[in-house]
Amino acid sequence: MKFDLMGTIHLTTSTEAIPPVKIFDNMAIIGSAGTNCVVIETSEGLILLDAMWPGKLWEDMIEDGLKSLGYNPADIKILLISHGHPDHSGCGRHFIEKYGAVPYMSKVDYEFEKEFCAQANNPDWYFDFTVENFLDEGDVLTLGDTDIMCFSTPGHTPGGLSFILKVYDQGRPHMAALWGGSAPPPQLEANYQYLRSLDHFIEMCRKYHVDADFMNHPILNNGVERMAVMRNRIDQVANPFVIGEEGYIRFTGLYRQLAEDNIAAGCVDYTK
């Protein structure tokens, strides 16, 4: 598998929506086969985790997906951005201005994405809103009855965040994690940083007994196939997003392998 400057960016441009689905009692997935956003239901409204690409097609995809799941877009209180790439922040301005969603991300990636998009030489990659609320290692983002633990995991981007939170499957609690930075970049030193971040996040996943996963790029974790199971699930079928504590650690081996392959291949080192 090969990755360009944005990691999985060339794999994430599919514009065909896949049917939205709730993967947990309090969590749903909306998006395409390449890139998705996550809806987290709380007692005081919705958290939209990532906002896919810029443009009306994606705005409509999110709004239509929310409505098809029985949600009101006006209930989005927080826009949480995992990292500073335009396939995760793209519709942010729309939901901020139309519905009053309050954006959160890391300060490092806020500054990074402004520069990244300015230098990208691509009119479809832009970052056009202001963020005043920042998250970092050890912060907990709370809305109503929901706490999202935040961890600084630089590598894919300089200020990427990963998350752990409690979810429920048919009323049963689980701890779910999102490795927020997906694939490693081509810069050699960034791959070493990526591995250090992964080791740190794995330690946190063990500490908080993570036994379930969710995604922002479903191509990386058989997400499309597992979403299909959830759309047609009967009560007696196990939730395929609940993979067990050791299962989650085993899954992170995918990300480790990607970085180790990059290092073995002799990534271009842009740090010199």
Res. 255 pLDDT band, cuts 50 70 90: very high
Annotated domain spans of the chain: 9-265
**DSSP secondary structure letters along 242-267:** B--HHHHHHHTHHHHHHHHHHHHHT-
The per-residue pLDDT for range 190-231, each reduced to its tens digit, is 999 999 999 999 999 999 999 999 999 998 889 999 999 999
Which residue is associated with the tokens 């995992």? 82
Cα–Cα distance measured from residue 254 to residue 215, given in angstroms and rounded to the nearest whole number: 13
What CATH topology corresponds to 9-265? Metallo-beta-lactamase; Chain A (3.60.15)
The per-residue pLDDT for range 121-142, each reduced to its tens digit, is 888 899 999 999 999 999 999 9
